[in-house]
């Protein structure tokens, strides 16, 4: 019984150190920090962010300012070994957050000028300042 309690305690401590002990951003392990959200935090655009969901090989999702913003990567992401496919970044926000959402988009475009970015329902492709409107499906842009 005492040995089982020791194993549980050691497991909990290991989980804590693995997810929180290696970071100064509560809840975001160092390897999963996001440069867009770090820069937005430094600039005062958002007050903080957290890792919402990780599915290596398919998606990584972050929430900022208690869910007011979402930054999600879809495609071959994380340390996964998966077929080569383009990564798409999706930025979303609650209604009324237009100015801050646009500031996040501008940071994302400056850091990843050739990445496909889906923002407010439109897709921006490879540095083009206008959204892609030439295809019925945004995946084909």
Shared-domain flag, residues 65 and 102:
yes
For 5-54, the pLDDT digits (tens) are 333 333 333 333 343 333 344 668 888 899 999 999 999 999 999 999 88
Range of the domain at 24: 1-32
For 62-120, the pLDDT digits (tens) are 999 988 899 988 876 655 556 666 778 888 888 878 888 889 999 998 998 888 888 87
Shared-domain flag, residues 114 and 69:
yes
Close Cβ partners of 28 (under 8 Å, ≥ 6 residues apart)? 34, 49, 50, 51, 62
Sign of the C-alpha dihedral computed for residues 14, 37, 47 and 97 taken in this order: negative
Shared-domain flag, residues 96 and 135:
yes
Shared-domain flag, residues 53 and 16:
no
Shared-domain flag, residues 135 and 112:
yes
Shared-domain flag, residues 52 and 92:
yes
Distances (CA, A) of 86 to 105, 116, 117: 19, 8, 11
Shared-domain flag, residues 103 and 38:
yes
Domain count, the chain: 2
Shared-domain flag, residues 6 and 39:
no
Shared-domain flag, residues 24 and 44:
no
């Amino acid at each position: 019984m005492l040995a089982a309690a020791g194993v549980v305690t050691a497991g909990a401590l290991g989980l804590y150190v693995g997810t929180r002990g290696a970071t100064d951003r509560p809840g975001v392990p160092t390897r999963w920090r996001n440069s867009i959200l770090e820069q937005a935090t430094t600039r005062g655009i958002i007050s903080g962010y957290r890792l919402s969901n990780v599915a290596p090989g398919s998606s990584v999702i972050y929430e900022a300012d208690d869910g007011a913003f979402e930054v999600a990567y879809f495609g071959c992401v994380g340390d996964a070994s998966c077929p080569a496919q383009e990564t798409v970044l999706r930025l979303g926000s609650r209604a009324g957050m237009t100015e801050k959402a646009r500031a996040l988009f501008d940071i994302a475009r400056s850091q990843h000028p050739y990445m496909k970015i889906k923002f407010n329902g439109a897709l921006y492709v490879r540095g083009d300042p206008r959204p892609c409107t030439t295809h019925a499906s945004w995946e084909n842009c």
